[in-house]
Amino acid sequence: MKLRILVALGCCMAATALADDPKAAFDAGNYAEAAKQLEPKLETAPSAEGYYNLGLAHEKAGDATKAAFDYERALWLDPGLKPAANAFAKLAAAQKIPLPPHTWRDDVRAVAHPETVLVLGSTLIWAGAFGLLFASQAQRRRGAWSALAMFGILAGMALAAAGWLTDVRLFAGRPAMVNAKDGADVLTEPANNSSPILSLPAGSPVNVISPRGSWAYVDLAGGAKGWVQTEKLTPLVPGETL
């Protein structure tokens, strides 16, 4: 009798742990439950790592659309989060989600976080400025010290510019994602009977240029522009509405 009670208590404690711990639920293979527990936590305290974990849970649970959104939101919050970038790239290839063409910005982000590059550049600029001050007081090799300081300033300016230009949050405008599981048609005019430009699968990223009621004028990954029904889009920025 006591053994049965102990077993029952153990089962209850395990169930309680799974109910309170998304990681425990994920490790136990209960991916849908892990995602369910993570979502309210991220509503109050959004984080890139949290949305990356939520994407993993949704992907393991078989919901590719939600997983794509989670990975994209993670990358919006932290453009340098490599695990999220790799996971989204694999998912996009599997789901045939169109992505922006590869640029030098992607190469920089693959090497270092934009904020790290920006901080390093700013540090070099300040070091170069102090170097110029030191050179102005130097009794010997003033020209060499000045040249070295100017090199530091120029290198710092280049790095700061690279860090600024590679941070997608500064240039993305109002990023959103196609949330409809059947995708969304991009039209030439904000009307259902207008000519289609192309069809976007669920999870496709877009940049909203101008939301107008039930329609939104968007910029696509390939450079094309058109109209999409607003209800089929979800903003990537937490708390933002279209």
Length of the chain measured in residues: 242
Contacts of 35 (CB under 8 A, 6+ apart): 22, 54, 57, 58, 61, 63, 66
Domain layout of the chain by residue ranges: 2-95, 109-168, 174-235
Cα–Cα distances (Å) from 125 to 88, 112, 122, in that order, read 35, 19, 5
CATH 3.30.450.20 is the classification of domain 2-95: no
Q: Give phi and psi for 226, each to the nearest 5.
A: -175, -175
Question: 38: which residues sit within 8 A by CB, 6+ positions away?
Answer: 22, 50, 53, 54, 57
Confidence (pLDDT) at 3: 41
- Give the tens place of pLDDT for each residue, 197-229: 999 999 999 999 998 889 999 998 777 899 999
Could you tell me the CATH superfamily of domain 174-235? Answer: SH3 Domains (2.30.30.40)
What is the Cα–Cα distance from 36 to 66, expressed in whole angstroms?
12
- The tens digit of pLDDT for each residue in 161-180 reads 988 888 877 766 789 999 99
Tokens 């509503």, residue located = 43
pLDDT of amino acid 167: 84
State the pLDDT at residue 19.
Answer: 52
Q: Looking at the chain, list the stretches that DSSP marks H as alpha helix, in order from N- to C-terminal side.
A: 2-20, 22-27, 31-44, 48-60, 64-77, 82-95, 104-111, 114-137, 142-165
Residues 225 and 218: beta-carbon distance below 8 Å: yes
3-class secondary structure, 207: strand
Per-residue pLDDT of the chain (242 residues; tens, 9 = 90+): 444 443 433 444 444 444 568 899 999 999 999 999 999 999 889 999 999 999 999 999 999 999 999 999 999 889 889 999 999 999 999 999 988 888 888 888 888 888 889 999 999 999 999 998 888 887 788 788 889 999 999 999 999 998 888 887 776 678 999 999 899 999 999 999 999 999 999 999 999 999 888 999 999 877 789 999 999 999 988 888 87
